[in-house]
Structure 1
């Protein structure tokens, strides 16, 4: 099992080793312990370009998943790529009353489940099935460790 992590952000401190270990735990939980996974943490601009290019939607989104396998049978060790927009995750966490780490963990699980063939857009029944699986995997990950922090910017002369 290998997890490749690419952080393309400067305003967020990511605990890369902790995020990798969490991703490994998710892979084990979904029966993909022999698989390789790539995680890309990006900003809204990059995510918007990817969403436009691959989904023809000219707006940012929280997570995209790019499967490397055509079917459920593992021909390749590489399961796929999960791309997460951290600024979108920050906004969603704030709106939902969750920590950034909880939001990132959910987006990671959501993306990996897409790589495993789950698709909440296919039908209401599939959306319910995917949500139940997400909840079960997330329960097994608790407590969610701190995955990332946003440093406070001090302003000269304001005492902050």
Structure 2
């Protein structure tokens, strides 16, 4: 199974099959259909801890990506891990006047592109390149019902 999905949102249930299908669609569109990605859905406190621990930023963020293919060494089918803060996604969806499902899809695409080496923080050209790629993928993936039960 190329996309493994887990949740640390308490009792909220997630629609794993929908997440897995979306992740597989994204991997197919970036021409890595056999790659493996894990996705973890978390709350703001856990995301803040992860952001502080790995990026030295003491605040929550919407998505973190932990690539496994950086640096020298043999290539593997494992791309890495994507962590998404559902509460942050909910706030951003409201601010952007879009559905939570759409926002979560955007964040998953964004996180997977980070796993593939895209990095908008490297400069304006790289940010534009990543944004173009995101838009191209988002035009082609269906927006499914991703929202965990009770997370609306």
| TM, length-normalised to structure 2 | 0.93
**Which structure 1 residue ranges, 5 or more long, are not aligned?**
154-160
Q: What does residue 124 of structure 1 align with?
A: 124
Q: What does residue 112 of structure 1 align with?
A: 112
Cα distance in structure 2, aligned partners of 1:74 and 1:148 = 36
Q: Using a 3 Å threshold, how does the CA distance of structure 1 residues 148 and 74 change in structure 2: closer, same or farther?
A: farther
Cα distance in structure 2, aligned partners of 1:152 and 1:121 = 30
SS in 2 for 1:14: coil
2:56 corresponds to 1:56: yes
Cα distance in structure 2, aligned partners of 1:46 and 1:115 = 20
Q: CA deviation at 1:18?
A: 0.5
Q: CA deviation at 1:81?
A: 0.1
Q: What does residue 65 of structure 2 align with?
A: 65
Task: Give the length in aligned residue pairs.
Answer: 152
Q: What does residue 33 of structure 1 align with?
A: 33
Q: What does residue 144 of structure 2 align with?
A: 145
Q: CA deviation at 1:27?
A: 0.5
Retained in 2: the 8 A contact 1:72–1:116? no
**Is 144-153 or 95-104 further displaced after alignment?**
144-153
Q: What does residue 89 of structure 1 align with?
A: 89
Structure 1 outlier segments of 4+, above 4 Å: 71-74
Cα distance in structure 2, aligned partners of 1:98 and 1:11 = 25
Cα distance in structure 2, aligned partners of 1:27 and 1:152 = 26
| TM, length-normalised to structure 1 | 0.88
Cα distance in structure 2, aligned partners of 1:138 and 1:73 = 32
2:133 corresponds to 1:133: yes
Aligned Cα RMSD in Å?
A: 2.0
**Which structure 2 residue ranges, 5 or more long, are not aligned?**
none
Q: What does residue 43 of structure 1 align with?
A: 43
Q: CA deviation at 1:26?
A: 0.3
